[in-house]
Amino acid sequence: MIALEHVVTILSSLIGGGLLGILFERRKRRAETEAIEADVIEKIQSSYGHFVEDYNKRYEELVKENEFLRKKIKELEERLNALTK
């Protein structure tokens, strides 16, 4: 009978400790996952911000180049019209 009590005590300690360990491990993994996800989101936002800045610079450069080329075309059309008259 005494041996059975010891076996029951040992088994309940192992099972109880195992369940508590699983619960704490799950919480730990969830917290680590949330930290990793937050870090990834921050990096994505940073990368997107750099992309938008670069895109805006290129867009502004293309707008300026387009304006320059339109003026050049207008000048050339005026010269052509003057020469054909």
Report the pLDDT averaged over residues 40-58: 96
Positive/negative CA dihedral, 36, 42, 46, 51? positive
User: Helices H, strands E: what count in the chain?
Assistant: 1, 0
**pTM of the full structure:** 0.55
Positive/negative CA dihedral, 58, 59, 60, 66? positive
Nearest-angstrom CA–CA distance, 40 and 34: 10
Split at pLDDT 50, 70, 90, the class of 18 is: low
For the cut 80, the answer to whether the pLDDT of residue 23 exceeds it is no
